[in-house]
């Protein structure tokens, strides 16, 4: 079963479409314990990304208790921007990124049940920016907690085109 149809990405480069949305890719800070991406064969594995902007975690708490659905959706968009930044670091250019799979973790109450709606915000952004290269397989899962009490974390697998 498919969801609502999303408009195809406008013409121009993926970078142009990102800028038209008023967004830019963030600079990712390095971590002494893991890397933001690892390439194996033609696959690029992107480490889980939290909704950071300018070095600040944009939200904390549990969705369905402390964090509203709309806020969680916005946090998912920020987390996927960080994942895209890692992908660009791996392949060199946003127009060369193709998303294969996305895993969205949502720290939520046991009865929340709308993890897919949180994940949709990230999926929509990927398709808006990358067009067909942004369409992907996806899993959205509710968890009891995430690092730094973040409401959302996104992990991706991508490839270069």
Q: Which residue has the tokens 């720290």?
A: 107
Mean pLDDT, all residues of the chain: 93
CB 92 within 8 A of CB 52: no
The span from the CA of 23 to the CA of 7, in Å, is 18
The answer on pLDDT for 87 being more than 70 is yes
Percent over 70 (pLDDT), the chain: 94
The answer on pLDDT for 1 being more than 50 is no
- Considering only CA atoms, which of 65, 161, 160 is closest in space to residue 114? 65
Q: What is the pTM of this model?
A: 0.92
pLDDT at 3 (0 to 100): 43
What mean pLDDT is predicted for residues 145-161? 97
* Domains and their CATH numbers in the chain: 14-160 (3.30.1330.40)
Q: Where do the DSSP E strands lie in the chain?
A: 37-40, 43-49, 52-53, 56-57, 97-107, 137-143, 152-160
pLDDT at 137 (0 to 100): 98
Q: Which of 30-39, 72-81, 119-128 has the lowest mean pLDDT?
A: 30-39
The answer on pLDDT for 69 being more than 50 is yes
What mean pLDDT is predicted for residues 10-32? 91
The band of 9, judged by pLDDT with boundaries at 50, 70 and 90, is low
């Amino acid at each position: 079963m498919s969801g609502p149809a999303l408009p195809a990405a406008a013409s121009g480069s993926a970078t142009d479409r990102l800028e038209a949305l008023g967004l830019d890719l963030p600079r990712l800070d390095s971590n002494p314990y893991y890397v933001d991406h690892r390439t194996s064969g033609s696959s690029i594995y992107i480490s889980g990304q939290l909704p950071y902007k300018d070095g600040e975690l944009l939200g904390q708490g549990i969705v369905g208790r402390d964090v509203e659905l709309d806020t969680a959706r916005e946090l998912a968009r920020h987390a996927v921007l960080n994942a895209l930044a890692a992908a660009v670091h791996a392949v060199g250019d946003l127009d060369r990124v193709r998303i294969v799979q996305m895993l969205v973790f949502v720290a939520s109450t046991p009865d929340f049940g709308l993890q897919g709606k949180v994940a949709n915000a990230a999926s929509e952004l990927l398709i808006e920016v990358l067009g067909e290269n942004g369409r992907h397989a996806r899993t959205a899962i509710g968890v009891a907690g995430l690092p730094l009490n973040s409401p959302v974390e996104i992990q991706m697998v991508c490839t270069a085109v």
